[in-house]
Amino acid sequence: MTLRDLPSVDALLQGADRLIATFGRTLTTQAIRQNLEAARGEIRRGDGAPAPEELLARTASTLESWLTPTLRPVINATGVIVHTNLGRAPLSTSAQHAMQAVAAGYSTLEYELGSGSRGDRSHHAEQLLTMLSGAEAALVVNNNAAGVLLALTALAQGREVLVSRTQLIEIGGGFRIPEILQQSGATLHEVGTTNRTHLRDFEDALSERTALILRAHHSNFKIVGFATEPSLSELVALGGQHEVPVLDDLGSGSFLDTTLYGLGHEPMVQDSVRQRAAVTAFSGDKLLGGPQAGILVGQTAVIEQLRGHPMARAVRPDKLCLAALLATLQHYAQAEAETEVPVWRMIAAGEPALMQRAEAWRQAVGQGEVVASRSTVGGGSLPEESLPTQLLALRVAHPTRLAQRLRQLALPIIARIEDERVLLDPRTVLPEQDEALLAGLREALSEKAG
């Protein structure tokens, strides 16, 4: 078997009409070349030369794999509502429409219709954000990490930032408070101890080098037991005596009161503003339930300083984000977030309704049982908190294999495995996906060796 036994590119192209029709001649040629190269390697290693039909089949799968997007929709049956790995918040219908409308054509992104002159994209969401939060001014950036970095850079570069040792956190995706601080060019001044930090620790740490006090939400962990830290109002009062502003990184933040939904207390944006943080930073796609964005609200002078900083240009939001954010904020303004914003609809879903859906699924697939379990909010908010749910539990011989088959469906279903059972939580499955979920379940269960 020699390299000469391999067909030429042209010879293979002659048998590739179907591929050329689907993928185009250029891409098909490229895929053929790649597969011929691999085949040459096989021959050199002493393996046989693949037949032309085999080479064409390989070329077809190469082309498929090139053109299958790696970013695809999935069904989230995990019960984790703000699932960072699965894209965090699903958008409301009107947020989707707003994005679509702006994506399809031109828009007033930086245009004033009244005067017919250049406008400023950074003002679109300001009205709604100030109204909802009670803050004087607002600025939207690309994500909350960027918002915190911008605030630290603009307010504290070359100077000191005081942070309690209880708040030197790392959240998912490598966002670490000490590292972000270093990136901003500010110096971290650690205050207090791992479990207890007192106001007097901040008092002792304040000096003429202090530019800012940073308060960071613990995000995905919880300190329990012998623990304390000063409140935001205490920090603001202390800072005020020394003209040192407080930056409050809420992480998720919320406009709605989570305790009304059987959850623990998640800090609310309005409270942070009322307690006079100079800037409050939070995410657009955590409990707000909108697009990826970083939202900064606060005092006019401080927000203007951030808006005018060169870094603001590098972290500005795009028009799709702004369109979706505006539509999401409108739901809050019209007091309809609980029914219109999917994240809140999921949080508010009652156990009887969840049981009904799980039971309907069970009947439709003809197996499994409905069991009580817990859903979680996720997204670095409300650690250790969960909501009672009713889900479909499938006991099969090989749960990991079933979970894998569910992931390999055309519309993948992401499930959870617990106690040797595959669990599907209706709380995070959008109602309009029910049919697709059931079709996918039937397909995956019907393959043999369940």
Ligand X SMILES: *Cc1c(COP(=O)(O)O)cnc(C)c1O
Residue 249 CB, shortest distance to ligand X, in Å, is 5
Residues 93-122 binding ligand X (CB under 6 A) are: none
Sign of torsion over alpha carbons 47, 51, 52, 56 = negative
Q: Which of 13, 63, 75, 175 binds ligand X (CB under 6 A)?
A: 175
Widest pairwise Cα distance in the chain? 85
Residue 16: partners with Cβ closer than 8 Å, 6 or more residues away: 28, 32, 56, 59
Q: Are 306 and 294 in contact (CB under 8 A)?
A: no
Decide whether 153 or 252 has the Cβ nearer to ligand X: 252
Q: Taking CB positions, which residue lies at the least distance from ligand X? A: 251
Sign of torsion over alpha carbons 36, 42, 45, 48 = negative
Residue 381 CB, shortest distance to ligand X, in Å, is 7
Residue 285: partners with Cβ closer than 8 Å, 6 or more residues away: 82, 88, 89, 291, 292, 293, 379
Q: Are 41 and 6 in contact (CB under 8 A)?
A: no
| DSSP structure string for 220-250 | T----SS-B---HHHHHHHHHHTT--EEEEE
Q: Which of 130, 133, 144, 375 binds ligand X (CB under 6 A)?
A: 144
Site string for ligand X, 182-221 (x = CB under 6 A): ----------------------------------xx-x--
Decide whether 59 or 270 has the Cβ nearer to ligand X: 270
Question: Should residue 283 be labelled a site residue for ligand X when binding is judged by CB under 6 A?
Answer: yes
Question: Should residue 171 be labelled a site residue for ligand X when binding is judged by CB under 6 A?
Answer: yes
Q: Which listed range, 62-70, 144-152, 199-207, 226-234, lies at the site for ligand X (CB under 6 A)?
A: 144-152
Question: Should residue 298 be labelled a site residue for ligand X when binding is judged by CB under 6 A?
Answer: no
Distance CA 384, CA 234 (A): 27
Question: Should residue 380 be labelled a site residue for ligand X when binding is judged by CB under 6 A?
Answer: yes
Question: Should residue 166 be labelled a site residue for ligand X when binding is judged by CB under 6 A?
Answer: no
Site string for ligand X, 251-270 (x = CB under 6 A): xx------------------
Binding-site residue total for ligand X (CB under 6 A)? Answer: 15
Decide whether 217 or 357 has the Cβ nearer to ligand X: 217
* CA 210 to chain centroid: 33
Q: Which of 138, 145, 288, 323 binds ligand X (CB under 6 A)?
A: 145
Phi-psi region of 341 (alpha: psi -120 to 50; beta: other; left: phi over 0): beta
Helix (H, G, I), strand (E, B) or coil at 182: helix
The site for ligand X (CB under 6 A) is made up of 143-145, 148, 171, 175, 216-217, 219, 249, 251-252, 283, 294, 380
